[in-house]
Amino acid sequence: MVGEILATFGLQPGACVADLTLGHGGHTQHFLKEVGPTGTVLAMDLDGNQAEITRNRLEALGLGDRLRIELGNFAGIGQAMGKHALVGLDAVLADLGISSMQIDDPARGFSYRREGPLDMRMDPNRGESAKSLLDSISPEDLSGGLEEFGDVPLAGSFARALLASHRATPFETTTQLADFCLKWHQGSTSPKSGEAWKLRQGKKKWETHPAARVFQALRIMVNRELANLKYLLRVIPDLLSPGGTIAILSFHSGEDRLVKAAFEQGLRQGKFSTISDGPIRAGFEERTENPRSRSAKLRWAKRAATAQDGDDSGDM
């Protein structure tokens, strides 16, 4: 959704932009071109190896002199701004979720389609892996996470079955977990319908592998993604320059609900002058060429020219 994001920002030469999820640098590359030689782009990423690859790629394009890269979660944007003496941001993008490079690298353990270790950490040098999480989590906590972060049907029954299997013979790889999801999906029975689950076969519907939502929920739990998003939403109005814009690209209904609620609250409090009427979706052509974009929702909010920051009642 590069075109939609650039149209939302309307960047001018000399602007100061933050890309809070650098990845391969697709968005950052366009930002660097828009702000020109007098502008600055601050980019953040948890994955040091990927950040270095992206830095080298952008420098080879002659864009590296305006780029500032900081390793860490986007919840640390305030500290990163202080380090680079940035007073306010004209535009901020948070592209939630994971990058295509992380999904496509089997060693990272994000993909249910490629065999790799059951890891899922965005920072491979910090925190517990998905396997470690399954080693210690209770059925109740797993069920809650699967339901909240993945909208997994029959989350309670599935969580109990998954942990029973894992504790009998631990899942070591992504494909072992994906195979379990598929077999349980095909063999389970819904107490409401009395019919076995089936993959969607409608020609006009996107088919979803039974492991997709499970992997999404585990990834969000491993990386504490919603907690970090809540913090970002709380502090971002104070980090934007007057008239600056925050845009958030989400891929999960829970993320989108948080963003919507925070933007509406900021509008009521006078911290934002305007927000998007609703989520902006990728066009048909992009959804066709890039199926991963089909669940993307873009929302934006513009800081008031004169912020009214005195009323913090009801903050998230």
Q: In sequence order, what DSSP letters do the residues of 142-188 get, joined into one string?
A: HHHHHHHHH--TTHHHHHHHHHHHHHHS---BHHHHHHHHHHHHHH-
Backbone phi, then psi, for 250, in 5-degree steps?
-115, 160
Q: Which CATH class is domain 2-95+226-303?
A: alpha beta
Dist. CA 164–CA 157, nearest whole Å: 11
* pTM exceeds 0.75, yes or no: yes
What are the CB-based long-range contacts (under 8 Å, 24+) for 294-297? 294/206, 295/251, 295/252, 296/1, 296/249, 296/250, 296/251, 297/249, 297/250, 297/251, 297/256
Q: Which residues lie closer than 8 Å to 145 by C-beta, 6 or more apart?
A: 137, 217, 218, 220, 221
3-state secondary structure of 94: strand
Q: Can you give the residue ranges of every domain in the chain?
A: 2-95+226-303, 126-223
Dist. CA 205–CA 189, nearest whole Å: 22
Question: What digits encode the pLDDT tens for the residues 4-35?
Answer: 999 999 999 999 999 998 988 889 999 999 99
Q: Flag whether pLDDT at 198 surpasses 80.
A: no
Can you identify the CATH homologous superfamily of domain 126-223? Putative methyltransferase TM0872, insert domain (1.10.150.170)
Question: What digits encode the pLDDT tens for the residues 140-174?
Answer: 999 999 998 888 989 999 999 999 999 999 999 99
Question: What digits encode the pLDDT tens for the residues 34-66?
Answer: 999 999 999 998 888 888 989 999 999 888 788
Question: What is the average per-residue pLDDT within 84-99?
Answer: 90
Dist. CA 295–CA 281, nearest whole Å: 8
30 or 292, which is more confident?
30
Backbone phi, then psi, for 59, in 5-degree steps?
-65, -35
Question: What is the average per-residue pLDDT within 190-203?
Answer: 43
Backbone phi, then psi, for 184, in 5-degree steps?
-70, -40
pLDDT band at 281 (very low <50, low <70, confident <90, very high): confident
Question: What digits encode the pLDDT tens for the residues 67-81?
Answer: 999 998 888 999 999
Q: What Rg do the C-alpha atoms of the chain give, in angstroms?
A: 21
Q: Flag whether pLDDT at 255 surpasses 50.
A: yes
Q: Flag whether pLDDT at 206 surpasses 70.
A: no
Residue 312 CB-half CA count within 13 A: 7
What distances in angstroms separate CA 132 from CA 120, 251, 269, 296, one per listed residue? 11, 25, 42, 29
292 strand-pairing partners: none
Dist. CA 15–CA 32, nearest whole Å: 10
Is the CB of residue 82 less than 8 Å from the CB of residue 59? Answer: no
Distance of CA 266 to the CA centre of its chain: 21
Report the chain's mean pLDDT, rounded to a whole number: 86
302 strand-pairing partners: 245, 274
Question: In the numeric block, which tokens belong to residue 65?
Answer: 């002199």
User: In this structure, how many other beta carbons lie within 10 angstroms of the beta carbon of residue 157?
Assistant: 16
Dist. CA 163–CA 158, nearest whole Å: 9
The predicted structure's pLDDT at residue 188: 61
Question: What is the average per-residue pLDDT within 279-292?
Answer: 77
